[in-house]
Amino acid sequence: MSRSFRHFLSLREIPREDLDALCLLALSLKRREAVARLPGRVLGMLFFNPSVRTRASFESAMARLGGASIALAAGRDTWNFEHREGIAMDGATQEHVKELAPVLSRYCDVLGVRKSELVTTSATTAEVSGSWDDLKRDGFLRALARYATVPVINLESNADHPCQGLADRMTLLERCPGPDGPRGVKYVLTWAWHTKSLPMATPNSQLEAAASLGMDVTLLCPEGWELDPEVTAAARASAEAAGGGLRVTHDRDAALAGARFLCAKEWGSTRYYGRFDEERRDKERLREAWRVDGRWMARTAGASFMHCLPVRRGVVVADDVLDSPASIVVDQAENRMWAQMALLASLLGEPG
Ligand code: CP
Protein backbone atom coordinates (compact mmCIF):
# COMPACT_ATOMS: atom_id res chain seq x y z
CA MET A 1 0.00 0.00 0.00
CA SER A 2 1.19 3.52 -0.68
CA ARG A 3 1.46 5.89 2.26
CA SER A 4 2.12 9.57 2.75
CA PHE A 5 3.75 9.43 6.20
CA ARG A 6 7.35 8.72 7.15
CA HIS A 7 6.99 8.20 10.90
CA PHE A 8 4.00 7.01 12.98
CA LEU A 9 4.06 9.36 15.94
CA SER A 10 0.50 10.65 16.36
CA LEU A 11 -2.82 9.78 14.70
CA ARG A 12 -3.40 13.53 14.34
CA GLU A 13 -0.50 13.61 11.84
CA ILE A 14 -1.68 10.69 9.68
CA PRO A 15 -4.16 11.44 6.88
CA ARG A 16 -7.51 9.68 7.22
CA GLU A 17 -6.96 7.87 3.90
CA ASP A 18 -3.79 6.29 5.30
CA LEU A 19 -5.55 5.27 8.51
CA ASP A 20 -8.35 3.71 6.45
CA ALA A 21 -5.83 1.80 4.30
CA LEU A 22 -3.94 0.54 7.37
CA CYS A 23 -7.14 -0.67 9.03
CA LEU A 24 -8.38 -2.38 5.87
CA LEU A 25 -5.04 -4.17 5.50
CA ALA A 26 -5.12 -5.15 9.18
CA LEU A 27 -8.60 -6.62 8.78
CA SER A 28 -7.53 -8.48 5.62
CA LEU A 29 -4.49 -9.90 7.41
CA LYS A 30 -6.65 -11.01 10.33
CA ARG A 31 -9.13 -12.71 7.96
CA ARG A 32 -6.23 -14.32 6.06
CA GLU A 33 -7.35 -12.53 2.89
CA ALA A 34 -3.93 -10.88 2.57
CA VAL A 35 -0.39 -11.91 3.35
CA ALA A 36 2.50 -9.63 4.26
CA ARG A 37 6.13 -10.71 4.51
CA LEU A 38 9.16 -8.86 5.84
CA PRO A 39 11.91 -11.50 5.84
CA GLY A 40 15.25 -10.28 7.08
CA ARG A 41 13.84 -6.99 8.37
CA VAL A 42 14.49 -5.90 11.94
CA LEU A 43 12.40 -3.85 14.35
CA GLY A 44 14.29 -2.18 17.24
CA MET A 45 12.30 -1.09 20.30
CA LEU A 46 13.30 1.05 23.28
CA PHE A 47 11.08 0.81 26.36
CA PHE A 48 11.48 3.45 29.05
CA ASN A 49 8.24 2.20 30.67
CA PRO A 50 6.72 -1.24 31.33
CA SER A 51 4.55 -3.00 28.76
CA VAL A 52 2.80 -6.31 28.10
CA ARG A 53 0.69 -5.76 24.99
CA THR A 54 2.84 -3.31 23.07
CA ARG A 55 6.03 -5.32 23.36
CA ALA A 56 4.44 -8.77 22.90
CA SER A 57 2.20 -7.69 20.02
CA PHE A 58 5.06 -6.03 18.13
CA GLU A 59 7.37 -9.01 18.65
CA SER A 60 4.62 -11.39 17.55
CA ALA A 61 3.81 -9.19 14.56
CA MET A 62 7.41 -9.08 13.43
CA ALA A 63 7.82 -12.87 13.87
CA ARG A 64 4.65 -13.57 11.87
CA LEU A 65 5.98 -11.29 9.12
CA GLY A 66 9.20 -13.30 8.95
CA GLY A 67 11.34 -10.56 10.47
CA ALA A 68 13.03 -10.13 13.83
CA SER A 69 12.85 -7.69 16.71
CA ILE A 70 15.15 -6.33 19.39
CA ALA A 71 13.60 -4.90 22.57
CA LEU A 72 15.79 -2.92 24.98
CA ALA A 73 14.73 -1.71 28.43
CA ALA A 74 16.10 1.82 28.31
CA GLY A 75 18.21 2.76 31.30
CA ARG A 76 18.44 -0.85 32.48
CA ASP A 77 19.86 -2.56 29.38
CA THR A 78 21.25 0.66 27.92
CA TRP A 79 23.06 3.90 28.64
CA ASN A 80 21.01 6.87 29.76
CA PHE A 81 20.06 9.00 26.80
CA GLU A 82 20.10 12.75 26.23
CA HIS A 83 18.02 14.53 23.60
CA ARG A 84 18.43 18.20 24.46
CA GLU A 85 20.56 20.29 22.12
CA GLY A 86 23.76 22.07 23.05
CA ILE A 87 24.25 20.87 26.60
CA ALA A 88 27.37 19.50 28.29
CA MET A 89 26.58 15.90 29.26
CA ASP A 90 28.23 15.98 32.67
CA GLY A 91 25.23 14.51 34.51
CA ALA A 92 23.37 11.20 34.38
CA THR A 93 23.26 10.78 30.58
CA GLN A 94 26.00 9.04 28.59
CA GLU A 95 24.71 8.92 24.99
CA HIS A 96 23.00 11.53 22.83
CA VAL A 97 20.15 10.79 20.44
CA LYS A 98 22.29 12.34 17.70
CA GLU A 99 24.46 9.20 17.82
CA LEU A 100 21.87 6.73 19.16
CA ALA A 101 19.35 7.27 16.36
CA PRO A 102 21.69 6.84 13.37
CA VAL A 103 23.48 3.89 15.01
CA LEU A 104 20.22 2.01 15.67
CA SER A 105 19.15 2.93 12.14
CA ARG A 106 22.14 0.97 10.81
CA TYR A 107 21.03 -2.16 12.71
CA CYS A 108 17.26 -1.86 12.34
CA ASP A 109 14.83 -1.09 9.51
CA VAL A 110 12.28 0.54 11.80
CA LEU A 111 12.48 1.85 15.36
CA GLY A 112 9.89 2.09 18.13
CA VAL A 113 10.08 3.95 21.41
CA ARG A 114 7.89 4.04 24.51
CA LYS A 115 8.69 7.04 26.65
CA SER A 116 6.13 8.51 28.97
CA GLU A 117 7.53 10.93 31.53
CA LEU A 118 4.53 10.38 33.80
CA VAL A 119 5.89 7.41 35.74
CA THR A 120 3.15 5.36 37.40
CA THR A 121 4.86 2.12 38.37
CA SER A 122 4.68 2.66 42.15
CA ALA A 123 1.58 1.36 43.89
CA THR A 124 0.11 4.66 44.96
CA THR A 125 1.94 7.61 43.46
CA ALA A 126 2.83 9.14 40.11
CA GLU A 127 5.87 11.26 39.33
CA VAL A 128 6.57 13.65 36.51
CA SER A 129 9.60 15.70 35.56
CA GLY A 130 8.06 18.76 33.88
CA SER A 131 4.96 20.73 32.95
CA TRP A 132 2.30 19.32 30.63
CA ASP A 133 2.92 22.11 28.11
CA ASP A 134 6.57 21.07 27.92
CA LEU A 135 6.15 17.29 28.09
CA LYS A 136 3.38 17.09 25.50
CA ARG A 137 5.98 18.10 22.92
CA ASP A 138 7.54 14.60 23.35
CA GLY A 139 11.12 15.83 23.11
CA PHE A 140 12.90 12.46 23.08
CA LEU A 141 10.52 10.85 20.57
CA ARG A 142 10.69 13.82 18.22
CA ALA A 143 14.50 13.95 18.49
CA LEU A 144 14.76 10.22 17.73
CA ALA A 145 12.57 10.72 14.65
CA ARG A 146 14.65 13.73 13.57
CA TYR A 147 17.98 11.90 13.72
CA ALA A 148 16.90 8.37 12.67
CA THR A 149 17.34 7.41 9.05
CA VAL A 150 14.54 4.80 9.28
CA PRO A 151 10.86 5.18 10.24
CA VAL A 152 10.04 5.67 13.93
CA ILE A 153 6.90 4.35 15.62
CA ASN A 154 5.57 5.90 18.84
CA LEU A 155 4.91 3.03 21.26
CA GLU A 156 3.33 5.53 23.71
CA SER A 157 4.62 8.96 24.58
CA ASN A 158 3.34 11.74 26.80
CA ALA A 159 0.89 12.97 24.18
CA ASP A 160 -0.10 9.93 22.13
CA HIS A 161 -0.47 6.18 21.89
CA PRO A 162 -1.17 5.90 18.16
CA CYS A 163 -0.77 2.11 18.00
CA GLN A 164 -3.58 1.71 20.55
CA GLY A 165 -5.60 4.22 18.56
CA LEU A 166 -5.00 2.33 15.32
CA ALA A 167 -6.05 -0.99 16.89
CA ASP A 168 -9.18 0.57 18.39
CA ARG A 169 -10.00 2.08 15.01
CA MET A 170 -9.65 -1.36 13.41
CA THR A 171 -11.85 -2.84 16.16
CA LEU A 172 -14.58 -0.25 15.57
CA LEU A 173 -14.51 -0.98 11.83
CA GLU A 174 -14.60 -4.72 12.51
CA ARG A 175 -17.64 -4.32 14.80
CA CYS A 176 -19.56 -2.11 12.34
CA PRO A 177 -19.60 -4.17 9.14
CA GLY A 178 -22.58 -2.40 7.49
CA PRO A 179 -22.26 -0.24 4.37
CA ASP A 180 -21.77 2.96 6.39
CA GLY A 181 -19.36 1.32 8.84
CA PRO A 182 -18.98 3.22 12.13
CA ARG A 183 -19.95 6.61 10.62
CA GLY A 184 -22.61 8.23 12.81
CA VAL A 185 -22.51 5.42 15.40
CA LYS A 186 -22.37 6.69 18.97
CA TYR A 187 -19.01 6.16 20.71
CA VAL A 188 -18.47 7.31 24.28
CA LEU A 189 -15.01 7.72 25.77
CA THR A 190 -15.45 8.01 29.51
CA TRP A 191 -13.06 8.98 32.27
CA ALA A 192 -12.95 6.44 35.10
CA TRP A 193 -11.59 6.76 38.63
CA HIS A 194 -8.15 5.35 39.40
CA THR A 195 -5.87 5.40 42.41
CA LYS A 196 -3.27 7.40 40.49
CA SER A 197 -2.99 10.12 37.85
CA LEU A 198 -2.39 8.25 34.60
CA PRO A 199 -1.11 9.58 31.25
CA MET A 200 -3.41 11.18 28.68
CA ALA A 201 -1.68 9.56 25.70
CA THR A 202 -4.14 6.72 25.25
CA PRO A 203 -7.40 8.69 25.52
CA ASN A 204 -5.92 11.34 23.21
CA SER A 205 -5.37 8.69 20.53
CA GLN A 206 -8.64 6.85 21.21
CA LEU A 207 -10.57 10.09 20.77
CA GLU A 208 -8.86 10.78 17.45
CA ALA A 209 -9.39 7.19 16.27
CA ALA A 210 -13.17 7.32 16.72
CA ALA A 211 -13.36 10.88 15.41
CA SER A 212 -11.48 10.04 12.22
CA LEU A 213 -14.11 7.38 11.49
CA GLY A 214 -16.85 10.03 11.48
CA MET A 215 -18.46 8.58 14.58
CA ASP A 216 -20.85 10.43 16.89
CA VAL A 217 -18.20 10.90 19.60
CA THR A 218 -18.90 11.87 23.20
CA LEU A 219 -16.16 12.57 25.73
CA LEU A 220 -17.64 12.04 29.21
CA CYS A 221 -15.66 13.19 32.26
CA PRO A 222 -16.02 15.05 35.55
CA GLU A 223 -15.47 18.80 35.40
CA GLY A 224 -11.72 19.42 35.49
CA TRP A 225 -10.74 16.17 33.77
CA GLU A 226 -11.30 17.29 30.18
CA LEU A 227 -8.51 16.37 27.77
CA ASP A 228 -6.09 18.98 26.42
CA PRO A 229 -8.17 21.53 24.42
CA GLU A 230 -5.82 21.22 21.43
CA VAL A 231 -6.44 17.46 21.30
CA THR A 232 -10.20 17.87 21.62
CA ALA A 233 -10.28 20.59 18.96
CA ALA A 234 -8.28 18.43 16.54
CA ALA A 235 -10.57 15.45 17.17
CA ARG A 236 -13.67 17.63 16.64
CA ALA A 237 -12.25 18.83 13.31
CA SER A 238 -11.49 15.22 12.29
CA ALA A 239 -14.96 14.05 13.25
CA GLU A 240 -16.67 16.83 11.33
CA ALA A 241 -14.45 16.30 8.27
CA ALA A 242 -15.43 12.61 8.30
CA GLY A 243 -19.18 13.29 8.66
CA GLY A 244 -19.46 12.87 12.43
CA GLY A 245 -19.25 15.11 15.47
CA LEU A 246 -17.80 15.44 18.95
CA ARG A 247 -19.18 16.77 22.20
CA VAL A 248 -17.73 17.00 25.69
CA THR A 249 -20.13 16.47 28.57
CA HIS A 250 -20.26 15.86 32.32
CA ASP A 251 -23.83 14.47 32.06
CA ARG A 252 -23.57 10.68 32.26
CA ASP A 253 -27.19 9.84 31.45
CA ALA A 254 -27.14 11.97 28.31
CA ALA A 255 -23.79 10.53 27.28
CA LEU A 256 -24.76 6.88 27.69
CA ALA A 257 -28.14 7.15 25.97
CA GLY A 258 -27.84 5.58 22.52
CA ALA A 259 -24.19 4.57 22.97
CA ARG A 260 -23.05 1.55 20.94
CA PHE A 261 -19.47 1.65 22.23
CA LEU A 262 -18.37 2.62 25.72
CA CYS A 263 -14.61 2.96 26.08
CA ALA A 264 -13.34 3.57 29.61
CA LYS A 265 -9.99 5.12 30.45
CA GLU A 266 -8.33 6.67 33.47
CA TRP A 267 -6.27 9.84 33.09
CA GLY A 268 -4.87 12.68 35.16
CA SER A 269 -6.15 16.23 35.04
CA THR A 270 -4.17 18.91 33.16
CA ARG A 271 -5.39 21.26 35.91
CA TYR A 272 -3.40 19.31 38.52
CA TYR A 273 -0.57 18.00 36.32
CA GLY A 274 2.43 17.38 38.58
CA ARG A 275 0.43 18.10 41.77
CA PHE A 276 -0.79 14.54 42.08
CA ASP A 277 -1.38 14.52 45.84
CA GLU A 278 -3.77 17.46 45.44
CA GLU A 279 -5.48 15.69 42.56
CA ARG A 280 -5.87 12.52 44.61
CA ARG A 281 -7.48 14.42 47.48
CA ASP A 282 -9.90 16.19 45.13
CA LYS A 283 -10.93 13.15 43.11
CA GLU A 284 -11.62 10.92 46.11
CA ARG A 285 -15.23 12.23 45.95
CA LEU A 286 -15.51 10.71 42.43
CA ARG A 287 -14.39 7.21 43.39
CA GLU A 288 -17.70 5.34 43.57
CA ALA A 289 -19.61 7.33 40.96
CA TRP A 290 -16.98 6.94 38.22
CA ARG A 291 -16.48 3.17 38.33
CA VAL A 292 -18.07 1.64 35.23
CA ASP A 293 -20.51 -1.12 36.15
CA GLY A 294 -23.56 -2.91 34.83
CA ARG A 295 -25.80 0.05 35.66
CA TRP A 296 -23.80 2.17 33.24
CA MET A 297 -24.08 -0.47 30.52
CA ALA A 298 -27.85 -0.78 31.06
CA ARG A 299 -28.26 2.87 30.06
CA THR A 300 -26.53 2.35 26.70
CA ALA A 301 -27.99 0.96 23.48
CA GLY A 302 -26.39 -2.45 24.08
CA ALA A 303 -22.89 -0.99 23.95
CA SER A 304 -19.73 -3.01 23.57
CA PHE A 305 -17.30 -2.24 26.38
CA MET A 306 -13.75 -1.22 25.44
CA HIS A 307 -10.59 -0.66 27.48
CA CYS A 308 -6.97 -0.58 26.31
CA LEU A 309 -5.72 -2.73 29.25
CA PRO A 310 -4.22 -3.14 31.74
CA VAL A 311 -7.28 -2.41 33.85
CA ARG A 312 -7.76 -2.47 37.62
CA ARG A 313 -10.80 -4.66 38.26
CA GLY A 314 -13.22 -3.36 40.87
CA VAL A 315 -11.61 0.08 40.70
CA VAL A 316 -11.95 1.30 37.13
CA VAL A 317 -14.50 -1.27 35.94
CA ALA A 318 -16.64 -3.77 37.81
CA ASP A 319 -16.38 -7.51 37.19
CA ASP A 320 -19.97 -7.59 35.95
CA VAL A 321 -18.86 -5.58 32.91
CA LEU A 322 -15.46 -7.13 32.23
CA ASP A 323 -16.86 -10.67 32.58
CA SER A 324 -19.93 -10.00 30.44
CA PRO A 325 -20.36 -10.69 26.72
CA ALA A 326 -20.37 -6.92 26.17
CA SER A 327 -16.66 -6.73 26.93
CA ILE A 328 -14.46 -6.76 23.82
CA VAL A 329 -11.21 -5.87 25.59
CA VAL A 330 -9.38 -9.06 24.59
CA ASP A 331 -10.35 -8.63 20.93
CA GLN A 332 -9.07 -5.06 21.17
CA ALA A 333 -5.76 -6.32 22.53
CA GLU A 334 -5.51 -8.97 19.80
CA ASN A 335 -6.06 -6.30 17.18
CA ARG A 336 -2.93 -4.50 18.37
CA MET A 337 -0.98 -7.28 16.64
CA TRP A 338 -2.91 -7.21 13.33
CA ALA A 339 -2.93 -3.41 13.16
CA GLN A 340 0.82 -3.29 13.82
CA MET A 341 1.48 -5.98 11.21
CA ALA A 342 -0.29 -3.70 8.74
CA LEU A 343 1.72 -0.72 9.96
CA LEU A 344 5.05 -2.55 9.68
CA ALA A 345 4.15 -3.87 6.23
CA SER A 346 3.21 -0.39 5.15
CA LEU A 347 6.41 1.17 6.50
CA LEU A 348 8.77 -1.55 5.23
CA GLY A 349 7.29 -3.31 2.25
CA GLU A 350 4.33 -4.33 0.21
CA PRO A 351 1.79 -7.08 1.05
CA GLY A 352 2.27 -10.14 -1.15
N1 CP B 1 -2.46 -1.02 26.02
C2 CP B 1 -1.12 -1.10 26.16
O3 CP B 1 -0.36 -0.34 25.57
O4 CP B 1 -0.71 -2.10 26.97
P5 CP B 1 0.78 -2.24 27.55
O6 CP B 1 1.04 -1.00 28.41
O7 CP B 1 0.78 -3.51 28.35
O8 CP B 1 1.74 -2.28 26.40
pLDDT tens, residue by residue, 43-53: 999 999 999 99
| Positive/negative CA dihedral, 352, 8, 205, 209 | negative
Q: Is pLDDT above 70 for 100?
A: yes
51 lines ligand 1 (CB under 6 A): yes
164 lines ligand 1 (CB under 6 A): yes
238 lines ligand 1 (CB under 6 A): no
Pocket test for ligand 1, best of 48, 154, 156 (most atoms within 8 A of CB): 156
308 lines ligand 1 (CB under 6 A): yes
Locate the ligand 1 atom nearest the alpha carbon of residue 57 and give its number: 8
Q: What is the pLDDT of residues 139-172, one digit of tens each?
A: 999 999 999 999 999 999 999 999 999 999 999 9
Residue 245, beta-bridge partner list? 216
Atom 3 in ligand 1: residue holding the nearest Cα: 54
Domains with residue ranges and CATH for the chain: 11-160+335-348 (3.40.50.1370), 163-332 (3.40.50.1370)
The alpha carbon of 87 and the centre of ligand 1 are apart by a number of angstroms equal to 33
Q: pTM of the entire structure?
A: 0.96
54 lines ligand 1 (CB under 6 A): yes
52 lines ligand 1 (CB under 6 A): yes
233 lines ligand 1 (CB under 6 A): no
Candidates 266, 256, 250; CA nearest to 308 is: 266
Q: How far apart are CA 270 and CA 248, in angstroms?
A: 16
Residues 6+ apart with CB under 8 A from 274: 128, 130, 131, 132
Instruction: Put the strands of the sheet holding 304-306 in their side by side order.
Output: 245-249, 216-220, 186-191, 261-265, 304-306
Pocket test for ligand 1, best of 47, 49, 53 (most atoms within 8 A of CB): 53
Locate the ligand 1 atom nearest the alpha carbon of residue 309 and give its number: 1
Q: Is pLDDT above 90 for 107?
A: yes
Q: Is pLDDT above 60 for 186?
A: yes
Taking residues 251-257, report their average pLDDT. 98
Candidates 337, 223, 312; CA nearest to 270 is: 223
Backbone angles phi, psi at 127, to 5 degrees: -135, 145
Q: How far apart are CA 192 and CA 221, in angstroms?
A: 8
204 lines ligand 1 (CB under 6 A): no
Q: Is pLDDT above 90 for 123?
A: no
53 lines ligand 1 (CB under 6 A): yes
Under a CB-based contact definition with an 8 Å cutoff, are residues 153 and 343 in contact?
A: yes
Q: What is the pLDDT of residues 15-70, one digit of tens each?
A: 999 999 999 999 999 999 999 999 999 999 999 999 999 999 999 999 999 999 99
Q: What is the pLDDT of residues 298-345, one digit of tens each?
A: 999 999 999 999 999 999 999 999 999 999 999 999 999 999 999 999
The alpha carbon of 52 and the centre of ligand 1 are apart by a number of angstroms equal to 6
57 lines ligand 1 (CB under 6 A): no
69 lines ligand 1 (CB under 6 A): no
Q: Is pLDDT above 90 for 3?
A: no
Locate the ligand 1 atom nearest the alpha carbon of residue 333 and give its number: 1
Backbone angles phi, psi at 144, to 5 degrees: -60, -45
Residue 350: per-residue pLDDT: 57
Q: How far apart are CA 83 and CA 309, in angstroms?
A: 30
Atom 6 in ligand 1: residue holding the nearest Cα: 51
307 lines ligand 1 (CB under 6 A): no
Candidates 215, 211, 235, 303; CA nearest to 264 is: 303
Sheet strands (E) in 207-268:
216-220, 245-249, 261-265
Locate the ligand 1 atom nearest the alpha carbon of residue 163 and give its number: 3
Q: What is the pLDDT of residues 258-289, one digit of tens each?
A: 999 999 999 999 999 889 899 999 999 999 99
Q: How far apart are CA 320 and CA 327, in angstroms?
A: 10
Residue 122: per-residue pLDDT: 74
